Amino acid sequence: MKLYNTLTRKKSDFKAIKEKEVRMYSCGPTVYSHAHIGNLRAYIISDTLRRMFEHRSYKVIHVMNITDVGHLVGDGSLGEDKLKQTARIEHKSAKEIAKEYERLFLKDIKKIGIKMPSIIARATDHIPQMLNLIESLERRGYLYKAETGIYFDTSKFKDYGNLSGTDFKRLNSSLIGGARIERPSGTRNITDFAVWRFSPEKEKEMVWDSKYGRGFPGWHIECSAISMEYLGNHFDVHTGGVDHIQIHHQNEIAQSEGATGEKFVNFWVHNEFLKVNGSKMSKSLHNTYTIEDLEGMGISPQGYRYFVLTGHYRSIMNMTKEALGNAQRTIASIHSFIERISGYDAEGKPDREFIEEIASLEREFFEWMEDDMNTPEALASLHALISVVNKCHSTGKLSKAGRDAVMATLLKMDSVLGLSFKEHTETKPLAAEPKRLIEEREKARQSGDFKSADEIRQELKERFGIIVEDGKNGSVWRRQ
């Protein structure tokens, strides 16, 4: 299995630190508002990667944090905490805001078929671990005090910038005039970041007492403290969006390796942006969509997941209503195909060439998935399989044994795609009236009364949403 590693900027063979165990961390949401579908692309990708590891019989320990404190508006060094800002606007407590948007986030990821991480860790539940990490950094001489808090001196970490491929001096130079130029008084370098922020005396919520003063943790320190708490100082995989490479993830590496003297993560896996009609998706630009928004447009959560998988995770995707509509129609047709085939019960021996072709397409599918999760090519193998099966079915050569081989392959593919194939393998029983009409139609067809058979077929479609298809081995029905 090959993965592209942002740190090395090349694809390489994946090898776990511990045999048959993968320790994996994903940056979770800041729960101050609804997660938009651009955010959710990252979680679909990390879920697909986890599913691939599990397909290869690894035990996966997957940790994801929930940022419920410490993330400032604009992601810079000055400003207000995002949760506190929303709490002020909505006249609620920051804790109430965090609880509600965490609930909605978990609801959304369940809808789109994402497996729950092994451990979901809230930042506010891990303040002691963060303070311990900060003390380790203090002992090693990485920290200094400024007006607004305790800061990490990035000039003292010799590998700062390696993840983005930019050395410290050039990185600082490139940020002059950028988002980080407005710096708190007393900071030394543009790239320096707070590990602990001071709070004014009047602040009563989301603040903690510490040896450094009353305050709250910086955003970056939580991911290091939480990941190392559950996965150890050195683990296998860290996932996230490309927007985290230059700041958040470089800061994670600096503070983690600075505190322990060990390598932090072996493989950094980053997904690219999702654009909307060619523009960046951003809450500040008011062009974001939620899963609920898509459902209102007639796009199912599985339709969105399918859309995400049509693009390679390291490629920028452009979301349009047309593209989403195409994805929705395609996933509906795949689910319909599964319902039709799973209900096929004709007798007969499977054709050897057919079985071999199905096995070949299964191998091809997983070869693409193991080549840096090439989901577009893997989906092409899935569609090739559907074409082969449809051709076999139309000629009356599909047997029960052939169907079983197809269904087994489809379920293996879906174990990594997460497109809910299994939910469509058990055909729901017909109600009495459509069942009577199907039997009546079959009698008309057998007697040669094709006009009545066609009329009943149309009635079944219009009244009950049931499609009846005739083949050499008899008729089969499916729901629209």
DSSP secondary structure string for all residues of 224-253: HHHHHHHH-SSEEEEEEEGGGIIIIIHHHH
Indicate the Cα dihedral angle 197, 203, 208, 214, nearest 10°.
60
All structural domains of the chain with their residue ranges: 2-271, 291-424, 432-479
What's at 247, amino acid-wise?
Answer: I
CA 253/CA 266 separation, integer angstroms: 11
pLDDT band at 384 (very low <50, low <70, confident <90, very high): very high
Indicate the Cα dihedral angle 412, 397, 461, 325, nearest 10°.
40
pLDDT tens sequence across 31-46: 999 999 999 999 999 9
In the sheet that holds 317-319, the strands lie side by side as: 279-280, 274-276, 317-319
pLDDT tens sequence across 392-444: 877 777 888 888 899 999 999 999 999 999 988 866 666 788 888 888 998 99
Tell me: pLDDT of 176 over 60.
no
Tell me: pLDDT of 177 over 60.
no
pLDDT band at 74 (very low <50, low <70, confident <90, very high): low
Tell me: pLDDT of 161 over 60.
yes
β-partners of residue 238 are: 25, 268
pLDDT band at 322 (very low <50, low <70, confident <90, very high): very high
Comparing 21 with 456, which gets the higher pLDDT? Answer: 21
Handedness of CA 306, 311, 313, 316 (dihedral sign): negative
pLDDT band at 244 (very low <50, low <70, confident <90, very high): very high
Tell me: pLDDT of 160 over 70.
yes
Give yes or no for a contact between 94 and 83, defined as CB atoms under 8 angstroms apart.
yes
Calculate the CA 112 to chain-centre distance: 9
User: pTM of this prediction?
Assistant: 0.89
What's at 454, amino acid-wise?
Answer: D
pLDDT band at 478 (very low <50, low <70, confident <90, very high): low
Closest Cα to residue 251, out of 127, 168, 144? Answer: 168
Q: Can you tell me the mean pLDDT for 298-316?
A: 97
Tell me: pLDDT of 20 over 80.
yes
Q: CATH number for 291-424: choose from 3.30.230.10, 1.10.268.10, 1.10.630.10, 1.10.730.10.
A: 1.10.730.10
Share of residues in the chain with pLDDT > 90 (%): 72
Could you tell me if residue 289 is left (phi over 0), alpha (psi between -120 and 50 degrees) or otherwise beta?
beta
Q: Can you tell me the mean pLDDT for 158-166?
A: 93
| Domain 2-271 annotated CATH 3.40.50.620 | yes
Share of residues in the chain with pLDDT > 70 (%): 93
User: Residue 14 corresponds to which tokens in the numbers above?
Assistant: 């994946």
Tell me: pLDDT of 461 over 60.
yes
| Residue matched to tokens 């007969």 | 348
Q: Can you tell me the mean pLDDT for 188-214?
A: 92
**What's residue 168's pLDDT?**
78
pLDDT tens sequence across 336-349: 889 888 877 666 66
Tell me: pLDDT of 139 over 80.
yes
| Residue matched to tokens 């940056």 | 27
User: Residue 458 corresponds to which tokens in the numbers above?
Assistant: 């149309």
Residue 6 has a CB neighbour count (10 Å cut-off) of: 22
β-partners of residue 269 are: 239
> Which residues, 6 or more positions from 49, have their beta carbon under 8 angstroms from its beta carbon?
3, 24, 237, 239, 269, 373
**What's residue 479's pLDDT?**
66
| DSSP structural state of residue 327 | H
pLDDT band at 173 (very low <50, low <70, confident <90, very high): confident
**What's residue 475's pLDDT?**
74
> Which residues, 6 or more positions from 272, have their beta carbon under 8 angstroms from its beta carbon?
241, 242, 313, 314, 315, 316, 317
Q: Is residue 88 helix, strand or coil? A: helix
Counted residue by residue, the chain has a size of 480
Q: Can you tell me the mean pLDDT for 203-213?
A: 93
Comparing 348 with 230, which gets the higher pLDDT? Answer: 230
Averaged pLDDT score across all residues of the chain: 91
